[in-house]
Amino acid sequence: MQPMPDYSISVCEQLKALTASGSLQVDSAQMDVAKMLDRVLADLKRKRPAAKSSALGWMFAARKKSVETIKGLYIHGSVGRGKTMLMDMFFAMAPCQKKRRAHFFEFMTDVHNRIAAQRLKFKNGETKQADPIPPVAADLYAEAELLCFDEFTVTDIADAMILSRLFSELFSLGCVLIATSNVEPDNLYRDGLNRGLFLPFIDLLKKYVDVVTLDSPTDYRMEKLNSQPVYLTPLDQRADMAMDASWMQALHGRKALPTEIPMKGRSIHVPLAVDRMARFSFADLCDAPLGPADFLAIAERFDTIFLDHVPKLGPDKRNQTKRFIILIDTLYDHNIRLYVSAAAMPEDLLEERRGTEGFEFDRTASRLFEMRSAEYLAQTPARRAAE
């Protein structure tokens, strides 16, 4: 039997220990957020039953109609300031037997799947509940009383249309929400289709969470990545090792996992992702039947892309070459920080320059060079911070 976690430690205490050891820099903005997370921890600890005093006591407790409201926290600010690190510290300490930490995109994919399954049950006569939202919310709450979302953002109209009703149910059940985001609540789903129908969710969110800005003066993620080469050639063991080293530095101890980016009726598979970083091979993106909309979804989802094993592009790879041109155009237009391992320097990747494709690849090569420049790299976090 595993020992129970030590709930006496706080996020502030852990942050102080890490700064004292030299693992982190002293950061007052991070400490302010840590104090707010500790407030939520204290509320969660107080809510936990102190002891199983009697079966009768538990029965009466279960019959209580009023649900104790614990305000969660919505942490927003520029990339690389430590939002995810603080939330992960909190999640590890949270005294909840049922808790869930997920990227928001992953959570919403799960929600849509559950709604579809509930509608199918109603269609098949397995339930009389025509509205799928209440049972889906009840199931979600039964699995997790605490939800921690990384990179909370709303870009899909299908998500936008159900969030208010879904979280009305979840919050009424007593669910506690902690979220990190690059976007303040008032700018969620900004300029989205039928945004007026989404606005009640923003009001609901502000009612059940405290909103705090984390804008440290230092972008710790970029501070580490700036020392790493961003274009490695030729394709050999040294290039693979250098890409792995840059990736590990970017992870900063976090665990990258596969994920999916939902599209209309399908999804884009992401082999490895954490926060706003992802790692693909050339084959993942250019051998697969992906198009401009897919690359746009990737650019909107991630700030930093690692792309392994770009080969030389001969006449037998015309489709892959076209996709690669579109991919680089999209990443460049969105100021994505790109790490590449390739078989040759940009101008030598295309083996035969013929017609329009040759001219287009000249632009691609030029952009790959520019994406290595200090000026371009300096813009990459600024774009997200401005959103």
Span 98-111, mean pLDDT? 87
Computed over every residue of the chain, the mean pLDDT equals 84
- Structure-token match 């401005």, residue found: 386
pLDDT tens string 205-254: 999 999 999 876 655 555 544 545 789 999 999 899 889 988 988 887 78
Q: How many other CB atoms are found less than 10 A from the CB of residue 160?
A: 20
Two structure tokens written together for 220? 């710790």
Q: How many other CB atoms are found less than 10 A from the CB of residue 25?
A: 13
**Collapsed DSSP state (helix, strand, coil) of residue 206:** helix
**CB-facing half-sphere around the CA of 200: CA atoms within 13 A:** 10
Counting every residue, how long is the chain? 387
- At residue 50, the pLDDT reads 41
- At residue 25, the pLDDT reads 79
Domains of the chain, each with CATH number or no CATH: 11-45+66-213 (3.40.50.300), 220-386 (3.40.50)
- Three-class secondary structure assignment of 50-100: CCCCCHHHHHHHHHCCCCCCCCEEEEECCCCCCHHHHHHHHHHHCCCCCEE
Residues 6+ apart with CB under 8 A from 223: 80
**Collapsed DSSP state (helix, strand, coil) of residue 339:** strand
Which of 1, 7, 31, 208 shows the shortest CA–CA distance to 94? 7
How far is Cα 64 from Cα 52, in angstroms, rounded to an integer? Answer: 16
- At residue 290, the pLDDT reads 93
Rg (CA), the chain: 23
pTM: 0.58
pLDDT tens string 301-323: 999 999 999 999 999 999 999 99
pLDDT tens string 334-360: 889 999 999 999 989 999 877 667 778
